[in-house]
Structure 1
């Protein structure tokens, strides 16, 4: 009976990141049409993605504390409802208002506030419900479902836009309200968290970053950079397909899904194979970031569409290797009482990566194709070096004890690290 409940809970939780990524990924193929219909600049169009992600990034630390204090479901379910309401506001504005751009951005900000309490809190919930190999596998499933949402959303967005471009906004509330009900009834939290007063809570977080910040902060930025590159590339590819190759509609959505498919499959396999193996975690991160850096360098030399798609898919595979590893390290870094805040801070920097991807790529695109991808390759190389020098699970000091700042405490006291 417990296994069945566990499976039901996992399915319910897996839907949360799918809904979250629809908030941005489903709009990507619609942005060129929106730009023409509302007579916007490319930068204004990119802000549709940016304000959503910025709002989420700012609010996430607050909802992380609330989830630690009051429980994960009590944050996730209301957040999904707010997310859906924001979609209704943007959709109604685009439908009924003549000058709707500002109101659409307002609805997107509300959606971002709702999105703050979705996938980052779902990661903390995974850490509460599962442990050991089950936890790493569940986190791999979460990252894969996140990617699956990214795969499906360009196709869904392109198909829905055949009705009219703003129909995508009305899709959000339908999905959000359904998933909110599923999570509420399908997930049973083990027990209500023992919430700490805010001063004690902030003191505990300060101690965590004092002890583990040397590896935890670089780990955060690996995740943020991966999503910065992913969404920037999608924005770039969407624009190139429509403006240069005149590819639109469902076909464009399907092409945008190809790199994402590579990431999803890789993330699922990686999560299933990790099993809290710390040396393997670091090795796969380094391999993934090396692949990403090499792919971005290579694509700088080619503008032929088939080669570009192939190389961008290879880069996405590198991201798919890295992200589940970061998820395992971050989720396992702390005890349950502070886990919501830590995963939320991680989610916050991921959202900020998504927020800055499209506008920065939009700016770089005005310079040249090579500028875009050499810049991205340089950034990827920096986080590769950061991972190599700072993220060292199981590192030892001179006395032979595990360093406090390394993720040697990945396994909680009640768990035994695999041999």
Structure 2
């Protein structure tokens, strides 16, 4: 017990900031491009659907490689996987930026650069969750608090993204691509110097045993795990679909462009960020509280999203409704993170949390292209269907997240 407390006390503020820089950088790498997509469409000469693929290509690359990165981090160490991944993200930003600057028809090379960034994201962002669990060992309260800060960094990146993306694009439209490389470099330096991962005395689990243990974990805890996965995928799909929709609506319906548009998009994201921070500080490893928060957030999110389409012509109402949805999503995300990180054994933590991160990236990948296809003719009905799906997820979570079973399994682990 004393050793665990010493381990916890040795986690410096700079270590926490360094870990928080990863989701911040990876979020900037994706969300920063959303407000400039209409500009990019004109400059590169592509359709709305093609511009959505600039977001989606990043996420698709991450979806398939995240579980691999999770296993490698369990096998060889978190830091060994994170640093090369951040270097790939840096290189991807340089390729996309240079192509936009120097090549007449840069779309193909932009996609290549974005795929490389997605590969980098796969090996960096999801590994932060199990890394937090490793550093804080059995201290669930401090783990929850740190995870709240990590998720807040993620959501703060979403708040900062539309503003920073718009400001940079006002100087040069392709500057956001290069800025991703700069931010990745800063994160690389911080992780290298400030994150001290505890050395493991035990031998790494062999692949065959690891595979067997992972299968047992999924079989034993599949109900609540898949419930968390589905919720993670759905809320990220909803978030990125709505962000894509807001970016298009503000420019085409309300004639709000450039830096001003970035600040307007940041309003619901700021609400999301605040809710994420407050929730992360208060859940304190309590599974019962996590379940109640999940229920409340799903209801609020489902009701608010159903009204978004009806408020598209009224800017103030649109921002109120999207802000309410943002609060619900912001409160839900650290709860889902904590459920995964605090209730899975360390040996499988990296892999299980990586599947969860893959599920979230599926939502990120699907949101913009789906919205680009339904926005013109099926907007209202799409948002109503999304609200109905949210209610279905409410009942699934109510039935599948069983507090006594999760806490019992966690205690026996």
- TM-score, structure 1 normalization: 0.93
The verdict on how the C-alpha distance between 1:410 and 1:253 changes in structure 2, with shifts beyond 3 A counting, is: farther
| Displacement of 1:374 | 1.0
The verdict on how the C-alpha distance between 1:83 and 1:211 changes in structure 2, with shifts beyond 3 A counting, is: same
Q: Is the 8 A contact 1:162 1:249 kept in 2?
A: yes
Match of 2:319 in 1: 309
In structure 2, distance between residues paired with 1:378 and 1:328: 26
In structure 1, distance between residues paired with 2:238 and 2:412: 33
| Displacement of 1:375 | 2.3
Match of 2:3 in 1: none
Q: Is the 8 A contact 1:54 1:351 kept in 2?
A: yes
| Displacement of 1:379 | 2.2
The verdict on how the C-alpha distance between 1:175 and 1:36 changes in structure 2, with shifts beyond 3 A counting, is: same
In structure 2, distance between residues paired with 1:168 and 1:370: 32
Q: Is the 8 A contact 2:11 2:135 kept in 1?
A: no
| Displacement of 1:202 | 1.1
In structure 2, distance between residues paired with 1:47 and 1:408: 44
Give the alignment of 1:54-73 within 5 angstroms: 54-73=60-79
In structure 1, distance between residues paired with 2:45 and 2:241: 22
Match of 1:177 in 2: 185
| Displacement of 1:4 | 6.5
Q: RMSD over aligned Cα, in angstroms?
A: 1.5
In structure 2, distance between residues paired with 1:19 and 1:407: 34
| Displacement of 1:196 | 1.8
Describe the superposition over 1:145-169 as per-residue Cα deviations: whole angstroms up to 9, x where unpaired.
0000000011000000012211111
Report the number of matched residues: 403
Match of 1:220 in 2: 229
Match of 1:265 in 2: 274
Match of 2:98 in 1: 92
Q: In structure 1, which of residues 181, 188, 191 is the aligned counterpart of residue 196 of structure 2?
A: 188
| Displacement of 1:73 | 0.6
Match of 1:236 in 2: 245
Classify the secondary structure of the residue corresponding to 1:99.
coil
Q: Tell me, yes or no, if structure 1 residue 390 matches structure 2 residue 390.
A: no
In structure 2, distance between residues paired with 1:412 and 1:159: 52
- Structure 1 stretches lacking a partner, 5+ long: 395-401, 414-419
In structure 1, distance between residues paired with 2:412 and 2:37: 45
In structure 1, distance between residues paired with 2:399 and 2:250: 39
| Displacement of 1:371 | 2.2
In structure 2, distance between residues paired with 1:100 and 1:408: 55
Q: Greater CA deviation, 373-382 or 59-68?
A: 373-382
Match of 1:19 in 2: 25
Q: Which has the higher helix share?
A: 2
Q: Tell me, yes or no, if structure 1 residue 203 matches structure 2 residue 203.
A: no
In structure 2, distance between residues paired with 1:283 and 1:327: 15
Q: Is the 8 A contact 1:127 1:332 kept in 2?
A: yes
- Structure 2 stretches lacking a partner, 5+ long: 1-5
Q: Tell me, yes or no, if structure 1 residue 287 matches structure 2 residue 303.
A: no
Q: Is the 8 A contact 1:332 1:412 kept in 2?
A: no
In structure 1, distance between residues paired with 2:282 and 2:11: 24
| Displacement of 1:407 | 5.6
